[in-house]
């Protein structure tokens, strides 16, 4: 009897904890899941040239042993903390409902009208901050480690199609539905469900095998011929606009298409969207590496990259 009461009380504590936890971490969730971000960052780090690899190593805290992917989800963890609350709008872009396009001037601001406060503005901002690192001309007010983590994370976010979604449904967050048998929402399906279902169905839940399969597909596989066009980038403003436009385009054609609140999404949806999710993770990683190689490398390209911003 006594044990039973203790058990009940423990349950109550967990329940209260859960309520507090979910009010802190809800409702507009997150980004590519930690799995998606980690894969994007691992793919990128594997493509770094020696100078960029060294710079990244120098910027990372010792405890991660040079592994960028260990901290790629950090911006999602701190966005609810008081000091980092300003970063919250930097994870996404709200575009007008049904417009299915992205216009920087129209869409890249936060709810208080703060200009450039969206994921496309943030990527330019942190690329710009990091581009001074190599010359030792960094603004002391800027923390270069944080700039690296933000850039790496936001390159993942901008490639998640539902992160450039419609305003009224918060990028699919308010479209509640079922993913196979459990409750989810459309945003979360693209953040996490598709990745986890793929890992469970085809890779024995091992996301490092999934990541290697993605890498194989651009090294010597279905995307090999596309690799150089993914990397094409004359200046950051044009490039982030392109990445965001690709995302809202996919969100319209494949994310929202045919989906309503209350639906159950299962095999049909999974099978037809899986390769797109994998391609976006690949593109995010390849393009993050391209940016890091250019801002930390000693070529002439760096000046060009930020020239028009």
List of residues contacting ligand NAG (CB under 6 A):
86, 90, 116-117, 121-122, 125, 142-143, 145-146, 210, 213-214, 217, 221-222, 275, 278
Stretch that binds Zn ion, among 6-14, 31-39, 165-173, 269-277 (CB under 5 A): 31-39
- 31 counts as binding Zn ion under rule CB under 5 A: yes
Among 35, 146, 157, 191, binds Zn ion (CB under 5 A): 157
Q: Which does 91 bind (CB under 5 to 8 A by kind): Zn ion, ligand NAG, none?
A: Zn ion
Least CB distance to ligand NAG at residue 235 (A): 17
Query: 157 is in the binding site of which of ligand NAG, Zn ion, none (Cβ under 5 to 8 A by kind)?
Result: Zn ion
d(CA 49, CA 46): 9
Q: Residue 107 — left, alpha, or beta (φ > 0 → left; ψ -120 to 50 → alpha)?
A: alpha
Least separation, in Å, of the C-beta of 307 and ligand NAG? 18
Size of the site for Zn ion (CB under 5 A): 4
Tell which residue, 79, 54, 81, has the closest CA to residue 68.
54
138 binds, among ligand NAG, Zn ion, none (CB under 5 to 8 A by kind): none
Binding residues among 90-109 for Zn ion as defined by CB under 5 A: 91
Question: Closest by alpha carbon to 87, among 70, 69, 75, 73?
Answer: 75
Q: Which does 221 bind (CB under 5 to 8 A by kind): ligand NAG, Zn ion, none?
A: ligand NAG
Centre a 10 Å sphere on the Cβ of residue 219 and count the other Cβ atoms it contains. Answer: 13
Residue 231 CB, shortest distance to ligand NAG, in Å, is 18
> Which residues, other chains included, contact 4 with Cβ-Cβ below 8 Å and sequence gap of 6+?
none
Task: Tell the smallest beta-carbon distance from residue 242 to Zn ion (Å).
Answer: 19
Q: Nearest approach, Cβ of 147 to Zn ion (angstroms)?
A: 15
The H or E element that residue 199 is part of is helix 194-202
Residues in the chain: 309
Q: What is the enclosing helix (H) or strand (E) of 37?
A: helix 34-46
**212 within 8 A of 42, measured Cβ to Cβ:** no
Q: Rounded to the nearest whole angstrom, what is the least distance from the CB of residue 163 to Zn ion in the complex?
A: 7
How many Å is the maximal CA-CA distance in the chain? 75
Q: In whole angstroms, how close is the CB of 38 to ligand NAG at the nearest point? A: 15
Nearer to ligand NAG, 61 or 262 (CB): 61
The nearer residue to ligand NAG, 175 or 273, going by C-beta atoms, is: 273
Whether 165 and 255 have beta carbons less than 8 Å apart is answered as yes
Alpha-carbon distances of 246 from 7, 43, 105, 110, 127, rounded to whole Å = 51, 20, 17, 21, 20
Q: For Zn ion, which stretch binds (CB under 5 A), given 49-57, 144-152, 153-161, 213-221?
A: 153-161
d(CA 3, CA 7): 6
Where along the sequence are the contacts to Zn ion (CB under 5 A)? Answer: 31, 76, 91, 157
């Amino acid at each position: 009897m006594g044990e039973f009461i203790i058990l009940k009380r423990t349950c109550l504590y967990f329940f209260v904890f859960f309520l507090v936890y979910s009010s802190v971490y809800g409702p507009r969730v997150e980004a590519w899941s930690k799995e998606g971000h980690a894969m994007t960052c691992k793919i990128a780090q594997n493509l770094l040239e020696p100078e960029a690899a060294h710079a990244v190593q120098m910027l990372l805290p010792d405890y991660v042993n040079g592994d960028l992917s260990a901290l790629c989800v950090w911006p999602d963890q701190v966005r609810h903390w008081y000091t980092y609350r300003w970063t919250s709008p930097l994870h996404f872009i709200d575009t007008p409902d049904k417009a299915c396009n992205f216009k920087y001037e129209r869409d890249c601001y936060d709810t208080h009208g703060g200009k450039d406060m969206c994921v496309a503005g943030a990527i330019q901002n942190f690329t710009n901050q990091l581009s001074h690192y190599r010359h030792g001309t960094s603004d002391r007010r800027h923390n270069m480690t944080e700039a690296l983590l933000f850039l790496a994370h936001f390159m993942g976010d901008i490639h998640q199609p539902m992160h450039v979604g419609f305003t009224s449904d918060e990028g699919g967050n308010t479209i509640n539905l079922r993913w196979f048998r459990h409750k989810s929402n459309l945003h979360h399906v693209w953040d996490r469900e598709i990745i986890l279902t793929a890992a469970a169905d085809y890779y024995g839940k091992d996301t490092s095998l999934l990541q290697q399969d993605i890498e194989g597909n651009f090294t010597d596989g279905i995307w090999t011929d596309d690799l150089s066009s993914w990397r094409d980038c004359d200046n950051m403003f044009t490039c982030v606009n392109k990445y965001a436009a690709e995302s809202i385009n996919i969100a319209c054609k494949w994310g929202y298409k045919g989906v309503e609140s209350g639906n159950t999404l299962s095999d049909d949806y999974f099978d037809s969207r899986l390769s797109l999710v994998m391609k976006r993770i690949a593109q995010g990683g390849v393009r993050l590496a391209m940016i890091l190689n250019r801002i930390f490398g000693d070529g002439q390209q760096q000046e060009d990259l930020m020239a028009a911003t």
